[in-house]
Amino acid sequence: MHINNKFSTNFSCIQGLRVLLVDNDVNFCNSLTPMLQSYGVKVQAAFLGEQALEIFVRWQPDVLLSDISSPNEDAYALIHQVRTLAGERGKVVPAIALTNTVTEDMYQHALLAGFSLCFAKPVVIDDFVAVLGILAIANNPHPHAN
């Protein structure tokens, strides 16, 4: 964590947030998962392909995090399937594309494919959690109104 954190440290809006983390890098999953869990986020990790889609359908996460730089899999096909399934349910699921290097072309391609944002790995956890909070609030502006 950063000493001079410019973001609020009140992350109650992400407690209980269900995040599906899709990445073929086991080390990345094993480092990001407990960091997010320490903020009260519920995390399911999956590999690209059928496993990720199956978990998405069964678990119905609030946010999708997916690596787009895997040479063997197509995260763009996954986001298309996610957008279709979520749309059929009348739900919007924010999705963050993760990659080792963010270029302008890659960022534009990710947005056009259906991702909400693009983040470079490794993520700065405070900044990343703040973005998750913004997505959570934007997707459910009145969480306690029910």
The pTM assigned to this predicted structure is 0.86
pLDDT of residue 72: 63
pLDDT of residue 8: 47
Tokens 């998405």 correspond to 56
pLDDT of residue 10: 59
pLDDT tens-digit map of 72-125: 668 898 999 999 998 888 888 999 999 988 889 989 999 999 999 999 999 999
At residue 19, φ and ψ (nearest 5 deg) are -120, 125
**Of 72, 87, 130, 53, whose CA–CA distance to 20 is shortest?**
53
pLDDT at 128 over 90: yes
Contact 139, 19 (CB under 8 A): no
What strands, in cross-sheet order, belong to the sheet with 63-67?
42-46, 18-22, 63-67, 95-99, 117-120
Residue 52 to residue 20: CA distance in whole angstroms: 8
pLDDT at 4 over 70: no
pLDDT of residue 7: 44
pLDDT tens-digit map of 32-64: 999 999 999 999 999 776 789 999 999 999 999
